[in-house]
């Protein structure tokens, strides 16, 4: 009984560590200052979503513990989004609608990124990013973000699943 309590805390800590790493990575100034990702609530949501998509890509075929872990990270993400919306003054009635829309956007982005990277199709990935992340950014460096995502996906693919499930994967630098 006591050991299962420790395991839960370790798993919870790993989920928080993973999410914190993703959020920190998503806030790197290079994305906004140099590559033209809009430095807005939406732009930051997009960057967190892209980094989560990379993690979920890696975990998608790794068995039930990885699926459970991915679900826990996903749940934490949307709990954080819910709290952020409330802090921004969105009404209790408006939060569920916004969260539902964010979920749809996230799943659409995840599917598009997976398809493009699975197919090794850089042009398609650039189109996905242009449409989803850079729609309102005339100074976008789509190519730089595309290459970055491809390299991060390859780096995560080389890490052992146990490292990912421990939340110890760090995303590295973008520049």
At residue 50, the pLDDT reads: 93
The verdict on residue 170 lying in a domain is no
Domain residue limits at 160:
2-165
The verdict on residue 73 lying in a domain is yes
Task: Read off the pLDDT of residues 78-126 as tens digits, 9 standing for 90 and up.
Answer: 788 777 766 766 666 666 677 677 777 888 888 999 999 999 999 999 9
The verdict on residue 45 lying in a domain is yes
- Mention every residue, 6+ apart, whose C-beta is less than 8 A from residue 31: 37, 47, 145, 174
The verdict on residue 175 lying in a domain is no
The stretches of 27-93 forming alpha helices (DSSP H) are 29, 41-59, 64-87
At residue 40, the pLDDT reads: 84
Positions of the chain with pLDDT under 50 = 1-8
At residue 30, the pLDDT reads: 92
Tally of structural domains, the chain:
1
């Amino acid at each position: 009984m006591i050991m299962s309590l420790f395991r839960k805390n370790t798993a919870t800590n790993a989920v928080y560590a993973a999410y914190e790493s993703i959020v920190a990575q998503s806030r790197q100034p290079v994305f906004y200052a140099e590559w033209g990702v809009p430095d807005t609530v939406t732009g930051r949501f997009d960057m967190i979503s892209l980094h989560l998509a990379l993690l979920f890509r890696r975990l998608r075929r790794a068995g039930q513990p990885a699926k459970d872990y991915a679900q826990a990270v996903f749940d934490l993400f949307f709990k954080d989004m819910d709290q952020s919306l409330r802090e921004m003054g969105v009404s209790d009635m408006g939060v569920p609608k916004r969260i539902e829309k964010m979920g749809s956007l996230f799943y659409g982005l995840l599917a598009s990124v997976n398809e493009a990277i699975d197919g090794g199709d850089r042009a398609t990935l650039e189109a996905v990013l242009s449409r989803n992340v850079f729609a309102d950014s005339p100074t976008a460096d789509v190519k730089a973000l595309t290459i970055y995502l491809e390299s991060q996906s390859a780096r995560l693919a080389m890490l052992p699943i146990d490292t990912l499930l421990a939340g110890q994967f760090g995303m590295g630098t973008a520049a």
